[in-house]
Chain A
């Protein structure tokens, strides 16, 4: 890959970023060939900040975050690149060392709390285990701490509910218990993989509030993986848009959602209806389906579904993978697209479709 050195230049060297992922690649070899689930991903994250990762299923969002957790160890996945957490490369540390860090420094909240929790053990037991693994404490102390955490995440009557089994909790409460489990060791990095996708809007709002409160209290860095751009808009400081294993747009949340410069992000924005849009207008879906990662298109991975190929001319899009270059708006906003005047195209063609009331601004 030729664009990697450029990627480094494009992202200003922040030096002391708390989490710094550099050129992360996760490849799986299968009988059909190599699946490049993540192919050259770089981003930085400071303490107390939130990074939102958006993209369709199969775009490599979860695979990349599992790599940070070290969950690909012992599988046939081939990882390369660097994951620097507080200066330590998580890809280089031993399994034993990773085991010590997992849960203490880096914790993860999974999408479906029903399948992420063990049905045979009580909720309290599972939370206590997470605490006892990393702290030399008695069972009684661990239990006290588990009750404290359940109380902190808003479970009513925590001293009684601690002995309940996961199935006795409602969906929202299970997700709260998962968050309690994730945060019991005060991790400095919390990865939330679609934490609210299975929940109702009212419960979703409660969980997002809780995550923000806890982030403030613990000064943790949070990566929130979601496909809901509304959640990203309300939670994230930075946004990383992924497509087919690569970052296609990366920058501050406000920039990305108000001045997106990559047709895939445009597609994501125009395919969701919002609560104020005209109901006469048709939704503008992204046509086709995401490409297979076994055989990705040779050029821009989004080219087969892109409506703006003609604006580039020639078959540049089909043959050459665009680099992640600074967007015209400057700042830390980078995009992976050949279109030269993407901001003009967005204002002229996309904005009138998705938010006609904003065109005058």
Chain B
């Protein structure tokens, strides 16, 4: 691991496609304990169940999904607030998934987190100066007498008055508090920021201020973001790449255009169609949308096969038998569905069946030979499955 305290990342990395974070088959299973005297484990909450993705240097990956889909858990594993049950977290080539406390200490400089609720994530009994200065003291970054100067620099960076270092968090408004949280995360000049719903608790007019600040910081310091949010419009604005999660799995991942203009997974399509649109005012009434019935199933006992099948309008027999693999269908587009297609263009037959060596009802097909599924890894392959011709495509 290189020492990052001196230079900004841009001077180290000439290539823009360099990967900062590569997550492979990450799993987090929380044990569910029984209620008896001997608290036996009676099951597992599969909060995150095998996700793989990459974050490029200076870029941003958005994680979206309903509450309980595991997006925050993923963020907390990447910052190693949780120890993953299984899988790899490659940060700049080093797998930090199984690092212990002492090994993690230097890593904390590189990966920082911004929390959702700024009023509960700042210690009310500490001044802003002491909150922002804490990482500097812990990591012995600057001599003691220089801490205050650096804190004031940071306050100015996030658009707060540097003279306010002596105030307490309650003396600031919600938007200002979130800026303090951002300043604290920026203190150690991290390479990767995990932003967990950074603007959900803020008023709309303040949201835009904070989003603009995050983007300015990204440009200035070449920071990569793992941006967790449920507001699809904000994710679209902020993130060139987006991953959609459902019940602990990534169901669709791709660049902005693939997800927002050419979504192939029924869940992504439903999510997008549910967003209320201001432009609807000109037409009046409600927009037509795909209606999802019911709630997300329990992650303790998820549905067999495809997790989304219980709420999916296109679910067929195969969906309850075989879990759809994350199949790469474009240069930067992967989808986990047996019947991937744009709205009203879902294919009749499962495109994944021949690849998995099963027939169209999900039963093993002795005649077919399972092929390698393109896209089975954290990044994107050079070849992919071309849906239009049912052949391999190429860049």
Chain A residues with CB under 8 Å of chain B are 56-57, 156, 170-173, 200-206, 208-209, 212, 227-235, 253-254, 256-258, 267-277, 279, 282-287, 289-290, 355
Residue B4 CB within 8 A of the other chain: no
Complex Cα–Cα for A87 and B161 (A): 52
B151 to chain A, nearest CB (A): 22
State in angstroms the CA–CA spacing of A282 and B216 once bound together: 10
Set B176, B278, B291: member contacting A233, Cβ < 8 A: B278
Report chain A residues within 8 Å CB of B138: none
Tell me if B67 is interfacial: C-beta within 8 Å of chain A: yes
Contacts A275-B232, A289-B175; A202 near B282 (Cβ below 8 A)? no
Q: How far is the CA of A100 from the CA of B211 in the complex (A)?
A: 47
**Cross-chain contact A202 with B286 (CB below 8 angstroms):** no
CA of A229 to CA of B287 in the docked complex: distance in angstroms? 14
**With A and B bound together, what is the CA distance between A173 and B67 in angstroms?**
14
Closest B residue to A59 by CB, please name it: B203
In the complex with contacts A230-B276, A268-B204, A275-B291 CB distance below 8 A: no
Distance between Cα atoms of A270 and B212 in the complex (Å): 13
B interface residues, tally (CB under 8 Å): 46
Contact of B281 among A170, A233, A267 (CB under 8 A): A233
Q: Say yes or no for B230: interface residue by CB 8 A criterion.
A: yes
Known A-B contacts A156-B294, A206-B291, A275-B260; A201 and B204 likewise in contact (beta carbons under 8 Å): no
> Contacts A253-B281, A279-B236; is A285 near B209 (CB within 8 Å)?
yes
Contact B276 A233 (CB under 8 A): yes
Chain A residues with Cβ under 8 A from B270's Cβ? 202
Q: Tell me whether A275 and B272 are in contact in the complex, defined as CB-CB below 8 angstroms, given that A202-B66, A285-B208, A285-B209 are known contacts.
A: yes
Distance in angstroms between the alpha carbons of A202 and B246 in the assembled complex = 12
Interface membership of B280, Cβ < 8 A: yes
Residues of chain B in range 282-314 having any CB-CB distance to chain A below 8 Å: 282, 284-287, 289, 291-292, 294-296
Interface residue? B279 (CB, 8 A): yes
Residues A272 and B278 in contact, CB atoms below 8 Å apart: yes
Q: Is B368 an interface residue (CB 8 A)?
A: no
Q: Is the CB of A234 within 8 A of B233?
A: no
Q: Are B278 and A269 in contact (CB under 8 A)?
A: yes
Q: A233: which B residues are within 8 A, CB to CB?
A: 276-281
Nearest 4 Cβ contacts at the A-B interface: A230-B276, A285-B208, A257-B281, A271-B208
Docked-complex contact B212 and A282, CB < 8 angstroms: yes
A230 and B275: CB pair below 8 A?
A: yes
Contact A203–B236 (Cβ < 8 Å): no
| A274 & B67 in contact (Cβ 8 Å cutoff) | no
* Cβ A355 vs Cβ B205 within 8 A: no
Among B205, B271, B277, B285: residue with most chain A CB under 10 A: B205
Cβ of B286 and Cβ of A209 under 8 Å apart? yes
Cross-interface CB contact of A275 among B174, B211, B233, cutoff 8 Å: B233
Tell me, yes or no, whether B256 is within 8 Å of chain A by CB: yes
